[in-house]
Amino acid sequence: MATYKKRAGKPRTKADKDAQIEENSTTAEVFRSLDEGASRTEAWVEKNQKGIIGVIAVVAICVLGYFAYHQYIQKPKEIEATNKMFQAQNYWEQALTAPAKDSLYNLSLQGGNGKFGFLDIIENYGGTDAANLAHYYAGMAYLNLNKYQDAIEQLDKFKSKDDILAPLAKGAIGDAFAQLNQNEDALKYYEEAAKMRTNDFTTPRFLLKAGIAAMSLNQSDKALKHFKKITEDYPKSPEVTKAEIYTGRAQAMNK
């Protein structure tokens, strides 16, 4: 559509008159279109206002419901679960240094003296952060009790973005598979643990275990790669000495 610069005063020539007529006509057409569009919109809103109000009401109810659920149901449930898990955590921590480890790990799992164990927390407080953490504790307890399938099941359900706990749980699954002589699975989980959330504590630890698992599978080249990464990237880690020893063994395998 052509546009023209509006001139002040009355049109002097026929061309000016024609231009003004076209401009006025176009402007009128635009306003008529806008009026018609607005009228159709108003008519549609009027016709469907009950549905629109219903949708708005549903959205508002969902938002308010979410906040009410979080504030009055989920939050108190989290606090209650955390409080009830305290004794189980206490048993578990005692088991780390006490001579009667098995009984303490069992108490942490099953509970004692009328207090919940980790399995009770998981059963009664599913969906809470406490129940998620209970999967980690339970898995580690089962691992120390030599119940490796149970350990794998619990640790696999644990979800975390923590830089330490996440790789520890993944690597512990590798430990369980190694104890079951499923070295291919062990290697897989050790490598995953070494790659995730890399840090100076867990990464060299699981690189070493991955290298040893690779050697058990006669994958000396892969083992050497893991040992080399420890010595080059984590030279101050406690695993360096062992990595150097196993490097010699892996090299001997290639001869």
Residue 235 confidence (pLDDT)? 96
85-143 pLDDT per residue, tens: 999 999 999 999 988 899 999 999 999 989 999 999 999 999 999 999 999 999 999 99
* DSSP structure string for 30-69: HHHHHHHHHHHHHHHHHHHHHHHHHHHHHHHHHHHHHHHH
Write out the two tokens for 172.
């512990």
Residue in 102, 106, 167, 169 with CA at minimum distance from that of residue 132:
169
Task: Quote the pTM value.
Answer: 0.73
Write out the two tokens for 53.
């109000």
* Residue 151 to residue 173: CA distance in whole angstroms: 7
Residue 77 confidence (pLDDT)? 84
Is the pLDDT reported for residue 5 higher than 50?
Answer: no
Write out the two tokens for 194.
């070494």
Regarding predicted confidence, which is higher, 53 or 215? Answer: 215
Q: How many CB atoms lie within 10 A of CB 47?
A: 10
- What residues does CATH 1.25.40.10 cover in the chain? 161-254
Alpha-carbon separation of residue 61 from 64, 69, 72, 171, 206 (angstroms) = 5, 12, 15, 44, 49
* DSSP structure string for 179-200: HTT-HHHHHHHHHHHHHTT--T
216-250 pLDDT per residue, tens: 999 999 999 999 999 999 999 999 999 999 999 99
Percentage of the chain exceeding pLDDT 70: 71
Residue 16 confidence (pLDDT)? 52
CATH class as words, domain 161-254: mainly alpha
Is the pLDDT reported for residue 11 higher than 70?
Answer: no
Residue in 123, 133, 130 with CA at minimum distance from that of residue 76:
130
* Residue 133 to residue 118: CA distance in whole angstroms: 9
31-46 pLDDT per residue, tens: 566 566 566 666 655 6
Regarding predicted confidence, which is higher, 41 or 182? Answer: 182
Average pLDDT score over residue span 13-24: 51
- Say if CB 202 and CB 167 are below 8 A apart: yes
- Say if CB 109 and CB 138 are below 8 A apart: yes
